Structure 1
Amino acid sequence: MDFHGIVISRNDYKERDMLVKILTDKFGIKTFFVRGARKKGFKLASAILPFSHGTYFGNVNDHGLSFINGTRELEQYQQIYSDIELNAYASYILGLVGAAFGNDEPLPGVWFDNIATAINLIDQRFDAAIVANIIEIQLLEQFGVKPFLESCVICGNSSGPFDFSETYGGLLCQQHWYLDLHRLHLDQRTIYYLRLFSVIDLKQLHSIKVKDVTKQHLRHTIDTLYNDQVGVYVKAKKFIDQMGSWDQILKK
């Protein structure tokens, strides 16, 4: 049985073997037992490197471990593999996918294509933080949180200015700001990108430039939504936050 896959991670298993986690187009995230993977000269060594991608074939089981027999059209996201920052953002996105969909469950709709497109954009050195933001916003629905960003949740007004209310789960127009004194008090540029990111098709993304101050506001806003309403922890996110602190120190 063949499938297209992106290698997420791998871990040593016993003396010579490995367990390799792969995001697949047909089966979701699966864990594969690879016998002899730690031996010198192992023929599938490149196929199980993190961020390798291509067509794999083997035995895929509904639950438990599956097995890889071979590959074709194998490539690697070279920029991601060699750049620690790009690696962190790509790992974060794949970690979010795992948290949103779990293991051994097919991804609904076009989600595999969305994630593959996001990883490819990062490898092409599109702004990795913005690509991650887009995935974060669009994944909220999979966590049971779908902010209403089309118009005011109270009156349906579709023209701003707006603010975001966690209490009401979406946008409030200025006439209804009084309903939530604890709304997020976002600037209109941040609101604009939140709305854009919720509907944008990554395949149509050719270029995007966002000012640093707006990127900071987006990061804070999305962190607030994830911390308050989702509550998932992805290990790579801690490293991304640390990188942000390093950037601030260097600028000073």
Structure 2
Amino acid sequence: MAREVTDFNGIIIYRQDYRERDLLVKMLTDKIGPAMFFVKGAKKRGFRLAADILPFTHGSYIGSLADDGLSFINVASETHQYRNIIADISKNAYATYILSLVDHAFPDGRSIGGWFNQVAAALERIDQGVDEQVIANVIEIQLLTMFGVAPNWDRCVVCGQDQGPLDFSEESGGMLCSRHWYLDPRRLHLDRRTVYFLQRLAHANLQQVRKISIKPVTKRRIQAVLDTIYNDQVGLKLKSKHFIDEMHRWEQKMGNLSTND
């Protein structure tokens, strides 16, 4: 087991009780990806790092990192919470889902390259008020490769055509141009606007994004595509995603009741 004391940036994913006074804290780090930290005495009154290990906290830390087993935190500095995410149920739900997706996509104790900055930017944009569903869609579509699914969004997988109407085929693993639609009668029959935004989201750098505006009907279609892929090809069923789906069903039900009134 390799272990070193170093400085690192981290985002708290979740925490759980461990024994009477201690906590296990799952954190996404820029050095070794997801890692579980043992925090001794964390539940004691007046614990010095109490505010630094709350969920949705992003900060700089010094500690002992292990690529196998538990890591430890010694010092925290320049930590801050995403307060708007904490206060808003929808933002909170999508941020939780993003962190859970990332936690499942990467093994603990391994470098994740630029993904730490992309996730940090995702939470920052949600906290700033950018559409949380669209931000989550960016993470969903870009994480597919890490789950062993790599759709070609930009051109026909058969001939390479990137102009004209394209449609997504699960069977073919990407887009088909109109000349090759006959190869998959069960393709998703997407409209051009949905295809356009799927292509944009697949390449979006959230560190550079300041605003995203997508019509509700297109958002629903994008989500339907991603849900289909995650259900059929990834097979990942997260509690955080189930909560989001239930939240939307409830909102739709309330909207229907208001319309009927």
TM-score, shorter chain, exceeding 0.5: yes
Deviations 1:118-145 (A, max 9, x none): 1111111110000000111111111111
Q: Which of 79, 90, 103 is the matching residue for 1:98? A: 103
Question: AA paired with 1:114?
Answer: Q
**Is the partner of 1:202 in helix, strand or coil?**
coil
Shift of 1:214: 0.8
CA distance in 1, matches of 2:196, 2:251: 25
Shift of 1:247: 1.6
Matching residue of 1:225: 229
* Structure 1 length-normalised TM: 0.97
Deviating above 2 A after TM superposition, structure 1's stretches of 4 or more consecutive aligned residues are none
Matching residue of 1:164: 168
Deviations 1:177-203 (A, max 9, x none): 111111111111111111111112112
Question: AA paired with 1:142?
Answer: M
* Structure 2 length-normalised TM: 0.94
Matching residue of 2:214: 210
The 8 Å contact of residues 42 and 50 in structure 2, kept in 1 or not, is answered as: yes
CA distance in 2, matches of 1:91, 1:227: 19
**Is the partner of 2:66 in helix, strand or coil?**
coil
The 8 Å contact of residues 125 and 210 in structure 2, kept in 1 or not, is answered as: no
Shift of 1:102: 2.1
1:11 aligned onto 2:16: yes
Equivalent residues in 2 for 1:1-252, closer than 5 Å: 1-107=6-112, 109-252=113-256
CA distance in 1, matches of 2:191, 2:251: 23
* Structure 2 unmatched runs, 5+: 1-5, 257-261
Shift of 1:21: 0.6
CA distance in 1, matches of 2:40, 2:208: 41
Alignment: residue pair count: 251
Question: AA paired with 1:85?
Answer: S
Deviations 1:203-232 (A, max 9, x none): 221211111111111111100011111111
CA distance in 2, matches of 1:201, 1:179: 33
Deviations 1:58-99 (A, max 9, x none): 111221111111111111111112212111111111111111
How much is the aligned-residue C-alpha RMSD, in angstroms?
1.0
CA distance in 2, matches of 1:39, 1:52: 19
**Is the partner of 1:185 in helix, strand or coil?**
coil
CA distance in 2, matches of 1:39, 1:66: 20
CA distance in 2, matches of 1:123, 1:194: 23
